[in-house]
């Protein structure tokens, strides 16, 4: 079963929001701590518990101090060898015989051992929906800001080459390949190029006499750093992503890297406090880099009766980073008709129960730059944009643009918006950027909506609560208008959600380690207060989401099988259960891993 872990900081108070079926109650209480497995933190991640004893396994060993040659030699004595040093998280990536893991874990200097898990990667209407044109009209397009794209690589077709109309010099300042070592960072999958286009495409290929639409990135003046970690099938590993994050930190000052875009993820296996991938994104955040991460595309998953709740992917489960869900722009530039994408992963996070996502942004059927002759364009030729969509009198499939859907596509929209804001006010800290975007987010939503999967015709119902839409829909114009009101310090860690089965209340609890103390960045009496960041409509869904007919309502027909219930259809594998939905025997199993955010190729209809 779950138990509370030791607090990072004791003796501080924090604001709390409690939500019942009918009302919203504010109070003050001591922070509850993140959940950890009973018996205290284990040194071996649970996905290492059922290995072939004859196998050699790739692992990440987090040490209590900075790894040095003496520590590497200790691993060598167990039959292992060093693959790479991960200094930012005091760790190393090693290959070790499975039979040696237990004895290695007994080393008093070893903090935690986890598998080096595989990982996957997850504009015209998008730009209009987030009010990006307001930034452009004011002269803000991300110029001077660099975004590190940690993905499948970036190719440089016309819209990402050095001949853009928004300034001289190369668009991609630096490339490094962590998949093939000495490779050139070229995109063989197609995902990274698409992501890069959403951020910084200049619109060159859609700027013509017969063009009726222009596909421009949200920050067309921004520069890019290309760090390739995903192969031609969109797969990668924790250690490659961590090394890429470390390289972004190392290059931060040289190229003015202020944002890292991670349109990738994998299942959650342990608390974010132990997860090496989460520790790496925190390290980047603390150096002043805003880290923007995809929520995941598992919002339709109902295998355990959770209605898609509890499906946020790592490292989007970390409370520091900005975690992004996906909206549908409905084929129009007007955001008032936009709806949540049914596949967008929902919170709370597994194990720690952090309230995620933080924001939502356009991610369904997004048009961006096509990387020709790569895996995605070959496997899904039907996703090539038709020339007639943006050129009068032209027919056939475009060689320049491609359509993809997923939180992978929503993430770079937010990364680009961050670049625009940082151009205006370079002194903003990552925490200031996060709270600014969350407080200013558009918060007008319906109670629920329906979406149809075009592949099988199945209908999905989505409710607009804080675990589905976070603090709301990205609004760049509103964020720009609030720049001069942003707090001058403090942290903006996403709160933890607590469910009390005896009362039916859900409480949001905030980390008291913030230097703001009583003037917390989420303080109720502040312009940035919790009531402003998470509006009553997002929190309570007009008493539908939290009410008797809610997915987890106490009086719901499924009652004991609700997402919160200890006796749910998933039993102890419910969101709050000891062996959660992502447990070792879950749908993901021990092999689920990092990838290019399991792309929803056709999106919602």
Average pLDDT over residues 267-277: 94
pLDDT at 559 over 70: no
Q: Is the pLDDT of residue 577 over 50?
A: no
Mean pLDDT of 373-384: 89
pLDDT-derived band at 104, boundaries 50, 70, 90: very high
Q: In the predicted model, what is the mean pLDDT of the chain?
A: 78
Residues contacting 126, CB < 8 A, separation 6+: 198, 218, 329, 361, 362, 366, 409, 413
pLDDT tens digit string along 179-228? Answer: 988 778 999 999 999 999 999 888 787 777 777 777 778 999 999 999 99
> For position 162, what pLDDT does the model report?
64
| pLDDT given for residue 344 in this prediction | 93
Residues 6+ apart with CB under 8 A from 73: none
Residue 585, Cβ density class (10 Å: 0-12 exposed, 13-18 middle, ≥19 buried): exposed
Q: According to the model, what pLDDT value does residue 264 have? A: 95
What pLDDT score was predicted for residue 254? 97
Region 103-112: mean pLDDT is 95
Most confident of 37-51, 149-163, 184-198: 184-198
| pLDDT tens for each residue of 49-78 | 778 888 899 999 999 999 999 999 999 999
The residue written with tokens 């967008």 in the block is: 344
Q: What is the mean pLDDT of residues 356-383?
A: 90
Task: Note the pLDDT tens digit of each residue in 227-267.
Answer: 999 999 999 999 999 999 999 999 999 999 999 999 999 99
Q: Which residue has the tokens 């936009």?
A: 338
The confidence score (pLDDT) of residue 40 equals 34
pLDDT of amino acid 531: 67
Catalytic residue (choose from 34, 116, 122, 191): 191
The percent of residues in the chain predicted with pLDDT above 90, rounded, is 44
CA angle, 279 then 284 then 287, to 5°: 125
Q: How does DSSP classify residue 383?
A: G
Q: Which residue has the higher pLDDT, 484 or 86?
A: 86
Residue closest to 479 by CA, chosen among 402, 404, 427, 420: 420
CB 524 within 8 A of CB 18: no
Q: Of 387, 347, 339, 346, whose CA–CA distance to 364 is shortest?
A: 339
Mean pLDDT for the stretch of residues 362-377: 88
Measured from the Cβ of residue 196, the count of other Cβ atoms closer than 10 Å reads 31
Q: What is the pLDDT of residue 575?
A: 53
Cα angle 206-454-127, degrees, rounded to a multiple of 5 = 30
Higher pLDDT, 183 or 361: 361
> With helix as H, strand as E and coil as C, how does 214-238 read?
CCCCCCCCCEEEEEECCCCCCEEEH
pLDDT at 79 over 90: yes
Residue-level pLDDT at 501: 67
Q: Within 10 A of 7 (CB to CB), how many other CB atoms are there?
A: 16
Decide which of 6 and 93 is more confident: 93
Helix axes 191-200, 407-424, angle to 10 degrees: 30
Supply the pLDDT for residue 44: 93
Report the distance separating Cα 134 and Cα 74, nearest Å. 57
* 88 is annotated as an active-site residue: no
Query: Does residue 529 or residue 571 have the better pLDDT?
Result: 529
Most confident of 367-376, 513-522, 536-545: 367-376
| Closest alpha carbon to 544 in 444, 464, 442 | 464
Instruction: State yes or no: is 536 an active-site residue.
Output: no
Q: Give the Cα separation of 219 and 323 in Å (integer).
A: 19
- Which tops the pLDDT comparison, 43 or 22? 43
List the catalytic residue out of 345, 405, 408, 537.
Answer: 408
- 151, 159, 431, 475: the active-site residue: 151
**Token digits for 241?**
């992503």
In 544-596, the DSSP E strands lie at: 594-596
The predicted pLDDT at position 304 comes to 74
Q: Across 107-111, 378-382, 461-465, which has the greatest mean pLDDT?
A: 107-111
Q: Verify whether residue 106 is a known catalytic residue.
A: no
- pLDDT at 544 exceeding the cut of 90: no
Average pLDDT over residues 543-547: 34
Give the C-alpha separation, 272 to 281, whole Å. 10
Spatial CB neighbours of 382, under 8 Å, sequence gap ≥ 6: none
The strand pair at 290-294 and 322-328 is best described as parallel
HSE on the CB side for 198, CA within 13 Å?
Answer: 35
Which pLDDT score is estimated for 518? 41
Question: Which phi and psi angles does 7 have, rounded to 5°?
Answer: -70, 150
- Name the 3-class secondary structure at 536: helix
Residue with tokens 């993430």: 411
> Which residue is associated with the tokens 């809610």?
550
Strands (E), 312-396: 322-328, 339-340, 359-362, 366-369, 384-386
Taking a C-beta distance cutoff of 8 angstroms, is the pair 149, 247 a contact?
A: no
Quote the pLDDT of residue 248.
98
User: Is pLDDT of 11 > 60?
Assistant: no
């Amino acid at each position: 079963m779950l138990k509370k872990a030791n607090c990072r900081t004791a003796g501080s108070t924090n604001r709390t929001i409690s939500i019942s079926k009918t009302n919203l109650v504010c109070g003050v209480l001591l922070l509850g701590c993140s959940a950890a497995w009973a018996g205290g933190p284990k040194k071996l991640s649970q996905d290492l518990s059922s290995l072939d004893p004859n196998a050699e396994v790739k692992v990440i060993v987090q040490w209590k101090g900075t790894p040095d040659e003496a520590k590497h030699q200790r691993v060598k004595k167990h039959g292992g060898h060093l693959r790479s040093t991960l200094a930012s998280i005091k760790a190393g990536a090693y290959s070790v015989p499975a039979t040696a893991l237990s004895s290695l874990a007994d080393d008093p200097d070893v903090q935690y051992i986890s598998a080096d898990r595989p990982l996957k990667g997850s504009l015209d209407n998008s730009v209009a929906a987030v009010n990006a044109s307001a930034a452009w009209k004011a002269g803000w397009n991300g110029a001077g800001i660099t975004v590190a794209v940690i993905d499948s690589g970036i190719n440089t077709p016309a819209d990402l080459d050095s001949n853009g109309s928004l300034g001289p010099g190369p668009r991609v300042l630096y490339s490094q390949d962590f998949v093939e070592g000495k490779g050139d960072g070229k995109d063989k999958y197609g995902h990274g190029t698409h992501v890069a286009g959403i951020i910084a495409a200049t619109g060159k290929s859609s700027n013509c006499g017969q063009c009726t639409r222009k596909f421009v990135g949200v920050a067309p003046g921004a520069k890019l750093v290309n760090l390739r970690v995903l192969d031609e099938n969109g797969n990668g590993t924790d250690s490659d992503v961590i090394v890429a994050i470390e390289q972004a930190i190392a290059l931060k000052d040289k190229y003015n890297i202020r944002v890292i875009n991670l349109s990738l993820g994998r299942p959650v296996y342990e608390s974010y406090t132990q997860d090496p991938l989460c520790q790496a994104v925190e390290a980047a955040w603390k150096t002043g880099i805003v880290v923007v991460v995809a929520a995941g595309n598992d919002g339709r998953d109902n295998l355990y009766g959770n209605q898609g709740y509890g499906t946020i992917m790592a490292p989007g489960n970390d409370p520091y980073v900005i975690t992004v869900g996906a909206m549908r722009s409905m084929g129009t530039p007007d955001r008032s008709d936009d709806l949540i994408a049914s596949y967008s992963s929902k919170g709370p996070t597994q194990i720690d129960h952090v309230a995620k996502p933080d924001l939502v942004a356009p991610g369904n059927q997004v048009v961006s730059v096509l990387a020709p002759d790569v895996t995605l364009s070959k496997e899904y030729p039907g996703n090539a944009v038709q020339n007639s969509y943006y050129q009068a009198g032209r027919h056939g499939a475009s060689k320049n643009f491609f359509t993809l859907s997923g939180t992978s596509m929503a993430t770079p929209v937010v990364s680009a918006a961050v670049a625009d804001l940082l151009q205006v006010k370079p002194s903003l800290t990552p925490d200031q950027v996060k709270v600014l975007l969350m407080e200013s987010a558009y918060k007008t939503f319906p109670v629920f909506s329906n979406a149809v999967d075009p592949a099988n015709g199945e209908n999905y119902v989505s409710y607009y609560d804080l675990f589905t839409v976070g603090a709301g829909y990205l609004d760049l114009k509103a964020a720009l208008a609030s720049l001069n009101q942003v707090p001058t310090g403090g942290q903006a860690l996403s709160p933890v959600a607590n469910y009390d089965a005896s009362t039916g209340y859900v409480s949001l609890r905030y980390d008291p380690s913030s230097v703001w103390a009583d003037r917390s960045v989420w303080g109720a009496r502040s312009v940035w207060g919790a009531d402003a960041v998470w509006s009553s409509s997002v929190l309570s869904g007009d008493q539908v989401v939290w009410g008797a007919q809610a997915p987890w309502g106490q009086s719901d027909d499924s009652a004991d099988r609700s997402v919160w219930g200890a006796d749910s259809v998933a039993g102890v594998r419910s969101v709050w259960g000891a062996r959660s939905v992502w447990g070792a025997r879950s749908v993901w199993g021990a092999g689920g891993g990092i990838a290019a955010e399991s792309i929803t190729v056709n999106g919602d209809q």
